[in-house]
Amino acid sequence: MSTLNNSGEPDKKEFTFTVYTENQIGLLNRIAIIFSRRKINIDSLNTSPSEIESIHRFNIVINETEDVVRKLARQIEKQVEVLKVYYNTNEDIIWQEMALYKVPTDDIAEKVSVERLLRENGARAVVIRKDYTVFETTGHREETDALIQVLQPYGLIEFVRSARVAIIKDSEGFNRKLREFERLEPGEDVIENEFLNKRDKVFTM
Amino acid sequence: MEVAQQEKAVAETKKTQKVSGSVALLEALIAEGTETIFGYPGGAIMPIYDALYDYNDKLNHVLVRHEQGGIHAGQGYARSSGKVGVVFATSGPGATNLVTGLADAQIDSTPLVCITGQVFAHLLGTDAFQETDVINITTPVTKWNYQVTDANEIPEVIAKAFYIAKSGRPGPVLIDITKNAQIQQFDFAGYEPCNHIRSYRPKPIIRKEYIEQAANLINAAKKPFIIWGQGVILGKAEQEFKALVEKSGIPAAWTIMGAGAISTEHPLNVGMLGMHGNYGPNVLTNECDVLIAIGMRFDDRVTGRLDKYAKQAKVVHLDIDPAEIDKNVHTEVPVWGDCKETIPLLTTLLEQKEHTSWLERFRDYTRQEVEAVINEELNPSTEEMTMGEVIRELNDLTDGDGVIVTDVGQHQMVACRYAKFNKTRSNVTSGGLGTMGFALPAAIGAKFGTPDRPVIAIIGDGGFQMTIQELGTIMQTGVDVKIIILNNRFLGMVRQWQELFNERRYSFVDIQSPDFVKVAGGYGIPGKTVGKRDDLKSSLKEMIESKGSFLLEIMVTKENNVFPMVPQGCSVSEIRLK
């Protein structure tokens, strides 16, 4: 269960939602307002087609208490075009963010051992032109932040970072579940009621 | 080859015909059993209204005086009949005028399909005349919404709209149709109702083991207490619910939205919950050992202070909406599912019992409440009339058979506390949103929804002036709605709070009213003002017996308070009798 902080309130921590949805105009807004109506900031949001045709997958990161996160998950899953919602702590997921860094080629080539810099930061050069070079790295927030610090002295021109993408460690994928959703009468797979069995861990309809 | 032949055969039997999007819409409505539409025309919905001109014999369109009136009428229709209310409005201001009603229907789970016109698709996003981003404005207040820009989508989208509005936990759906799609001719292959959307499970799967756990808890309970809400009515499970209550012998109390699911006269019906509910149900919520919540959502007006709400009790929660479980109150046993199915499963496992001494506790509190509050409210010693005595007289005349439509405020609380409800779907009120101005249009809709039952709107002098223009709808349609205005010349509920909590600083609650009888007269509606007790009974009788609509303004005490009351921030057991 969640731990309590000094004032006796449950601790907020980072949670990642994984949301499987139909590909529908306006659904992003419908999901976003579930957070904003409670004045909760979305720290990171990624939406992209999933491995299954016509199904979209969202990753949403917020900092909240588990109690609130569980309620949010149910309110998201309640939306007509949402198939399934999971929420996980950072321990339950593998996640990455990708970042791009644009620096002046002259400075970086003259003053730095580029090869070492790339190796130490797990980065690679995506584009090398006479006037500028673009590096790319992926990793956790502190890793992509670290490279900013390294490149700042060499005249970092521009930096951009993607939203978090996350894989749930103990997931079995969505293909089997989707087949159940497509059936008029759901079978065992949807009857399985993770919320009731593992009440504090996962939620499902 | 065989499959191809079959497909060909199907295509041949399903002869398509060229129709406009507007005609397809109206055909879809008819196929869904729509008889009445509440609406108001305008530029962007003109093609639909043009098509409607030829459907006069199949669809009854009620021309309201304001779109808010239209949607409240749709709500009243849905609430009294159990069918889906259908509302038309034009783009821009027509659509934004629906927002209050959508929010009301969303929070009170009322099935509606609202159709709004929209500017031509090629004008979207250009700030065209009467263009508003209706989809985004209405997203938080609809169960589902969708913008149609191509007529080919119309049959399927309307089928989805009805399915979503009425299935599972019902709610309002809005379909925004651009003008080009209304006009566009397309091959219409007939209408297929929708019964499955893969991303949408209206009914959670029933888990028998949780029904067993619930039954074990209830059977072992010494002081079990049932609290029910509108879910019982929405699930059309009144009979099943009555059987559960009678077999288990458990005292049962209702939220304002659940009123009438079993008769107010039933011996196990111990009264209303909540801020102005009855004494016993509130106090004993904090004494019961098992609290069985059925089709209700633990609204803050019901629970009072949450951290002091039923902490001693184990909570069993029956609900169709998984998001309601543990939302406000921690549940020991969640029983998800349609209560039409879960209640009988539970009843079977319950022992036949009588909780005589526990029930007696409720009776004790009732006696105290009668003595301290109810006697004086229903049979006042003052010269001026009380709202309660009006309801008492009305009960004698209707015997609880009428549909009571209330607005919001003191009169609403008094009407719900004291009205007899013998039948289900008899209490139409704005529960969750508390929308003043709801009652008059909702009563119009309620009458169209149940033409055989008397419909009586009970409204305050403030709320009546918010949608007073709907008298025009009554005039034009000749719908038989009895209107009682309980006039205390104040915005009474706010005044009560200012008296109790703001040291009588009566800030803008002193409201003046026009001569309501004259206003009604202007619309050709007969009316009367009653100021004396001696005239009350005969005037109510005159109103009830009048052929069509009638407006009865009853002057009541100016500064009466509704009690009992759970002050905000207090526990239900801290309910005050004065």
Statement: residue A199 has pLDDT above 50? no
**What residues does CATH 3.40.50.1220 cover in chain B?**
208-361
d(CA B530, CA B539): 7
pLDDT of residue B8: 59
Q: Which residue of B has its CA nearest to A179?
A: B198
Residue A53 falls inside a structural domain: yes
Percent of chain B predicted with pLDDT > 70: 98
Burial of B156 (0-12, 13-18, 19+ CB in 10 A): middle
Mean pLDDT across the stretch B381-389? Answer: 96
Q: Which residue of B has its CA nearest to A77?
A: B323
Percent of chain B predicted with pLDDT > 90: 96
Specify whether A101 is located in the same domain as A147.
yes
Q: Which residue of A has its CA nearest to B138?
A: A30
Mean pLDDT across the stretch B217-243? Answer: 98
Length of chain B measured in residues: 578
Judged by a CB distance cut-off of 8 A, whether residue B492 touches chain A is: no
pLDDT of residue B5: 64
Res. B12 pLDDT band, cuts 50 70 90: low
SS3 B16: coil
Question: Could you tell me which residues come within 8 angstroms of residue A197 by beta carbon, excluding any fewer than 6 positions away?
Answer: none
Of residues B135, B136, B204, nearest to A205 (C-beta): B204
Specify whether A44 is located in the same domain as A86.
yes
State the DSSP H helix or E strand holding residue B333, giving kind and residue range, or none if neither. Answer: strand B333-336
Listed range (A73-77, A144-148, A176-180, B431-435) with the worst mean pLDDT:
A176-180
pLDDT of residue B7: 58
pLDDT in tens, B187-212: 999 999 999 999 999 998 898 999 99
SS3 B22: helix
| C-alpha distance from A27 to closest chain B C-alpha (Å) | 9
More reliable by pLDDT, A184 or B267: B267
Could you tell me how many CB contacts below 8 A there are between chain A and chain B? 63
Specify whether A17 is located in the same domain as A60.
yes
| C-alpha distance from A65 to closest chain B C-alpha (Å) | 14
The CA radius of gyration of chain A, in Å to the nearest whole number, is 21
d(CA B190, CA B27): 8
Cβ distance B322 to A74 less than 8 Å, yes or no, reads: yes
Specify whether A28 is located in the same domain as A88.
yes
Look up residue B577 and give its amino acid: L
Of residues B136, B197, B334, nearest to A80 (C-beta): B197
Cβ distance B322 to A25 less than 8 Å, yes or no, reads: no
Res. B126 pLDDT band, cuts 50 70 90: very high
Of residues B135, B204, B326, nearest to A26 (C-beta): B135
Specify whether A149 is located in the same domain as A115.
yes
pLDDT in tens, B511-528: 999 999 999 999 999 999
pLDDT of residue A203: 40
Mean pLDDT across the stretch B328-342? Answer: 95
pLDDT of residue A107: 84
Chain A contacts in chain B segment 327-366 (CB below 8 A): 327, 334
| A16, A20, A24, A26: CA torsion to nearest 10 | -30
Q: Give catalytic residue positions of B.
A: 67, 129-130, 179, 493
Kindly tell me the sign of the dihedral angle through the C-alpha atoms of A137, A139, A142, A143: negative
pLDDT in tens, A15-60: 999 999 999 999 999 999 999 999 999 999 999 999 888 999 999 9
d(CA B177, CA B92): 12
Specify whether A140 is located in the same domain as A39.
no
Mean pLDDT for chain B?
96
Of residues B196, B199, B326, nearest to A184 (C-beta): B196
Percent of chain A predicted with pLDDT > 90: 66
CA distances from B46 to A195, B60, B144, B177, B178 (A): 49, 17, 24, 11, 11
Question: Could you tell me which residues come within 8 angstroms of residue B210 by beta carbon, excluding any fewer than 6 positions away?
Answer: A196, B333, B334, B335, B336
Fold of the B383-556 domain: Rossmann fold (3.40.50)
pLDDT in tens, B439-491: 999 999 999 999 999 999 999 999 999 999 999 999 999 999 999 999 999 99
Listed range (A135-144, A183-192, B149-158, B560-569) with the worst mean pLDDT:
A183-192
**What residues does CATH 3.40.50.970 cover in chain B?**
15-188, 383-556
Mean pLDDT across the stretch A142-160? Answer: 94
Residue A28 contacts residue A182 (beta carbons within 8 Å): no
Among residues B258, B253, B190, B205, the alpha carbon closest in space to that of B229 is found at B258
Of residues A37, A181, A186, nearest to B205 (C-beta): A186
Cross-strand partners of B147: B176
Q: Which residue of B has its CA nearest to A178?
A: B198
Of residues B147, B201, B327, nearest to A205 (C-beta): B201
Cis before B564 (ω within 30): yes
**What is the DSSP code string of B81-148?**
HSS-EEEEE-STHHHHTTHHHHHHHHHTT--EEEEEEE--GGGTTTT-TT---HHHHHGGG-SEEEEE
Res. A186 pLDDT band, cuts 50 70 90: low
**Structural domain for A137, as ranges:** 95-161
CA angle A95, A99, A103 (to 5 degrees): 160
**Contacting residues of A for B207, CB less than 8 Å apart:** 191, 193, 196
Cβ distance B323 to A21 less than 8 Å, yes or no, reads: no
Q: Which residue of B has its CA nearest to A35?
A: B140
Could you tell me the CATH number of the domain that includes residue A61? Answer: 3.30.70.260
pLDDT of residue B11: 53
Of residues B144, B199, B325, nearest to A181 (C-beta): B199
pLDDT in tens, B23-41: 999 999 999 999 999 999 9
Statement: residue A3 has pLDDT above 90? no
| Residue B96 CA to its chain's centroid (Å) | 21
pLDDT of residue A177: 79
Strands B172-178 and A93-104, sheet pairing: unpaired
DSSP label at residue A10:
B
Specify whether A85 is located in the same domain as A185.
yes
d(CA B438, CA B174): 19
Burial of B516 (0-12, 13-18, 19+ CB in 10 A): buried
Specify whether A66 is located in the same domain as A106.
no
Cross-strand partners of A20: A57, A84
User: Count of CB atoms within 10 A of residue B226's CB?
Assistant: 25
pLDDT of residue B289: 98
**Contacting residues of A for B323, CB less than 8 Å apart:** 71, 74-75, 77-78
Listed range (A65-74, A181-190, B377-386, B403-412) with the worst mean pLDDT:
A181-190
Judged by a CB distance cut-off of 8 A, whether residue B207 touches chain A is: yes
Cβ distance B139 to A33 less than 8 Å, yes or no, reads: yes
Cβ distance B198 to A83 less than 8 Å, yes or no, reads: yes
Cβ distance A82 to B199 less than 8 Å, yes or no, reads: yes
| C-alpha distance from B365 to closest chain A C-alpha (Å) | 36
Mean pLDDT across the stretch A194-199? Answer: 44
Burial of A184 (0-12, 13-18, 19+ CB in 10 A): exposed
Task: Compute φ and ψ for A7, nearest 5 degrees.
Answer: -90, 10
Specify whether A18 is located in the same domain as A83.
yes
| C-alpha distance from A30 to closest chain B C-alpha (Å) | 6
| C-alpha distance from A177 to closest chain B C-alpha (Å) | 11
pLDDT of residue A191: 44
Res. A201 pLDDT band, cuts 50 70 90: very low
Cβ distance B205 to A74 less than 8 Å, yes or no, reads: no
DSSP label at residue B506:
-
Statement: residue A198 has pLDDT above 50? no
Res. A4 pLDDT band, cuts 50 70 90: low
Fold of the B15-188 domain: Rossmann fold (3.40.50)
pLDDT of residue B48: 98
Residue A6 falls inside a structural domain: no
Statement: residue A185 has pLDDT above 80? no
**Contacting residues of B for A26, CB less than 8 Å apart:** 135-136, 139, 145-147
Residue A204 falls inside a structural domain: no
**Contacting residues of B for A178, CB less than 8 Å apart:** 198
Specify whether A144 is located in the same domain as A181.
no
Judged by a CB distance cut-off of 8 A, whether residue B125 touches chain A is: no
Could you tell me the CATH number of the domain that includes residue A126? Answer: 3.30.70.1150
Q: How many domains does chain A have?
A: 2
Fold of the B208-361 domain: Rossmann fold (3.40.50)
| C-alpha distance from A37 to closest chain B C-alpha (Å) | 9
State the DSSP H helix or E strand holding residue B74, giving kind and residue range, or none if neither. Answer: helix B67-81
Statement: residue B248 has pLDDT above 60? yes
